[in-house]
Amino acid sequence: MTAWSVLSVYSVGIATITAVACARPFLHLLQLESYQFPGYLRALLRVGVKAWLPGALLTAANVALVYGLAWGFFRLAGLLPGLILLANLALAAFVYARLRRRPAKKKLVFTPRLVRLCWALAVVCLLGGLIASFMNPVLPLLWPAFTPVWVALAAWLVQPLEARIKKWFFRDAQRILRGMPELIRIGITGSYGKTSAKFLLATLLAERYSVLATPGSFNTPMGVTRAIREQLRPEHQVFIAEMGARHVGDIREMCELVRPVIGLLTSVGPQHLETFGTVERVAETKYELIQALPPDGAAFFGRDGGICEGLYRRCPLEAKRLAGERLGAEDIAVGPFGCRFTLVGTGGARADCQTRLLGAHNIDNLLLCAEVALHLGLTLPEIAAGVAKLEPVEHRLQLIGTNGGVTVIDDAFNSNPAGAGAALDVLKSFPGRRIVVTPGMVELGAEQETLNEEFGRQMAKSTDIAVLIGGRRVEPIARGLEREGFDRANLHIVSSLEESTVLLKSLARPGDTVLYENDLPEILVYPNPTSGELRIETSDMRYEILEIEIYDMIGRKFISNLKSQISNQTIDISKFSNGIYLVKIETEKGTLAKKIIKK
């Protein structure tokens, strides 16, 4: 074999390894976009140049490798080529390790589908490199710089296989449902409120039925399929499927699976406009659930004074209801304690209800779910008993209690205009000074700046202190606050959650209420309520800890300057009060973890 041939082999091999090594962030983007190419392209444009830097670095290293190999073969030979190759592989491993430790709101999950995609990516890089090497042995060395393209190409090539696998799972789930003809199948969708409505309805119906609701935010076709195949049992009498959508046709696909006989449409509004484009397309997609119902099915619509009620009038089904059509709420009282009201039915039937859920908007959600419960035969006392058992959904107006006399409201799930407005209404019901900490709202398309400015205007009417997290993204919120005459001295803009925590340490005082609106960081540490220990789950990190800091949400530091090996670190937190804490871990390689945890 000639030296030139050896260089070609080295070139193809190292190009494949380094391209796959820097593919992790692009695989993550593709997974977050549900393997949809338009969303992947938008995500690439959103992350900008910084996501391409590892590939550019490895490309430069690859070129240096080949020239080093050529010089070694033709000048010194000996061990030099092998040493240069090892150095390049070490660099690729280092880049991969750094990419793996990047914090993320939602982690990359190595599902079977992603593993198949990784193998396809390796084959694409290898075969492409072999072909390119015939033209010029140096050409494959540029592969890492084009990793986003190879990821997209690999995903496109495995699409037929993934479609067949998906169809098999899909048909297996359909087979399970066909084997349960008496099962009452309910679909829930909406721009916002669908997850909360799912848990509300499941709790109410559990007073009479054995109910399975899709867990968490399992609201995609494969998520619903997985819930059916793994959790649905013969003893279940009701199956509730949450149906999310980012593209036209998503709801229709899930309806082909579930074949719902009852449909709930909670709301229609400007959500996921980056993919839908217009609210009208959002409405048509949500209405796919109603169109999928059989002639003897039943449809239930939330009252929004607009699009949702318009879709109610359009619905041809005889059994259709608006929230509150047969059931009403009187003697309503809302506050930090939750909600109290009297449920009033036709014929004067009444039942007193109380729930820990915060906000008058939850009474609207309850009335919608109560209409479904009434349709399925529950009595008012049964509905009231279910209302009493309702628990706040995690990160959705969840009252965390107090830290040093400061009340914290966690509304950190994805924010939207209606939800943000409802959260501000809840905040107004709390005494004392009211503080909002928020990075604003995203995924609102061309409307994002306008809606965030309106959010700022609303905030000015219910907030004493505003802490905005971000740079240019929060400028519309600040503009809305200022246009409503908000005191500029009480408006603070910080770059990170950590900065907001430090700021709150000096701002907050006993009697204040702090609302966290929209997403908080990813969990990287976990408390054990039984042992009172805090466990750091970091098996992939082996660096020495230089410092651990734990703060409460008003910036008080509880622990610092702990040193240990990170692989088995535990901290005694049994004496901490219930609440949310910020954990920051510094190692010799920098900050590896930052996260809000709940004891």
303-to-128, 161, 166, 268 alpha-carbon distances in Å = 56, 43, 36, 10
With respect to residue 157, please indicate whether it lies within any of the assigned structural domains: yes
- pLDDT value of residue 207: 95
Residues 6+ positions from 440 with CB-CB distance below 8 Å: 415, 452, 455, 468, 470, 473, 474, 476, 477, 518
- Residues of the chain falling short of pLDDT 50: 73-79, 103-104, 520-532, 535-544, 561-568, 588-590, 592-599
pLDDT for 592 equals 47
Quick one: pLDDT at residue 68? 59
Please check whether residue 171 lies inside any domain of the structure: no
Burial string for 274-293 (b: 16+ CB within 10 Å, else e) reads bbbeebeebbbbbbbbbebb
Structure tokens at 98: 């750094």
Q: Are residues 332 and 186 part of one domain?
A: yes
Instruction: Tell me if 84 is assigned to some domain.
Output: yes
Reported in sequence order, the residue ranges of 405-520 that DSSP labels E, i.e. its strands, are 406-411, 434-438, 465-469, 491-494, 513-517
Residue 502 lies in a domain: yes
Q: Catalogue the long-range contacts made by 558-561 (C-beta closer than 8 Å, 24 or more residues apart).
A: none
Are residues 405 and 367 part of one domain?
Answer: no
Amino acid identity at 342: T
- The Cα 314–Cα 238 span in angstroms is 27
H or E element, residue 431:
none
End-of-domain residue from the set 388, 418, 442: 388
Whichever domain contains 298, its CATH number is 3.40.1190.10
Tell me: do 335 and 483 sit in the same domain.
no
How many whole angstroms separate alpha carbon 37 and alpha carbon 361?
37
**Sheet strands side by side (includes 350-355):** 328-335, 338-344, 350-355
**How much is the pLDDT for 568?**
40
Taking the CA atoms of residue 30, residue 35, residue 37 and residue 42 in that order, the dihedral angle to the nearest 10 degrees is: -40
Tell which of 458, 489, 515 closes a domain. Answer: 515
Helix axes 361-375, 417-428, angle to 10 degrees: 110
Is position 551 within any domain? yes
- pLDDT on residue 588: 46
- Which of helix, strand or coil describes residue 107? coil
pLDDT score of 269:
76
- Whether 169 is in a domain gets the answer no
Give kind and range of the element (H or E) at residue 547.
strand 545-552
292 lies in the same domain as 217: yes
- Cα 229 from Cα 219, distance rounded (Å): 15
569: domain CATH number is 2.60.40
- Full DSSP string of 357-410: --STHHHHHHHHHHHHHHHTT--HHHHHHHHHT--PPTTSSEEEEEETTEEEEE
Together in a domain, 577 and 465: no
Q: How far is CA 37 from CA 32, 144, 155, 243, in A?
A: 11, 20, 9, 21
Whether residue 366 sits in one domain with residue 244: yes
Tokens of 67: 């020239």
DSSP letters spanning 39-57: HHHHHHHHH-GGGGHHHHH
For residue range 247-294, what is the model confidence (pLDDT) as tens digits?
Answer: 778 899 999 999 999 999 998 877 666 667 778 888 888 999 999 999
Domain boundary among 368, 388, 408: 388
**pLDDT score for 466:** 93
Query: What pLDDT was estimated at residue 538?
Result: 35
pLDDT in tens, 532-578: 455 443 323 334 455 666 665 555 565 554 444 333 455 555 555 55
Task: Please indicate, yes or no, whether residues 411 and 493 belong to a single structural domain of this protein.
Answer: yes
Q: What's the distance, CA 470 to chain centroid?
A: 19
Residue listed under structure tokens 């260089």: 7
pLDDT of residue 373: 96
Residues 143 and 246 in one domain: no
Question: Do 415 and 382 share a domain, yes or no?
Answer: no
Tokens of 53: 């830097």
pTM of the model: 0.66
Asked whether residue 60 is assigned to any structural domain, the reply reads yes
Domain shared by 308 and 437, yes or no? no
Within-domain flag for 254: yes
Residue 468: which of 495, 487, 489 has the closest Cα?
Answer: 495
Residue whose tokens read 């000096």: 506
Domain containing 420 — which CATH number?
3.90.190.20
pLDDT at 379: 93
**Cα(329)–Cα(316) distance, integer angstroms:** 27
User: Quick one: 32 and 52 in the same domain?
Assistant: yes
Phi, psi of 171, deg, nearest 5: -70, -35
The total of other beta-carbon atoms located within 10 Å of residue 159's CB is 12
Q: Please report, for the chain, how many H helices and E strands are present, in that order.
A: 19, 22
CA separation, residue 476 to residues 97, 319, 413, 471, 564 (Å): 37, 44, 21, 10, 44
3-state secondary structure 310-345: HHHHHCCCCEEEECCCCCEEEEEEEECCEEEEEEEC
Tokens of 402: 């107090």
Same domain, 489 and 539: no
**Domain interval for residue 554:** 525-598
Query: What is the tally of structural domains in the chain?
Result: 4
Token pair for residue 588?
């010799």
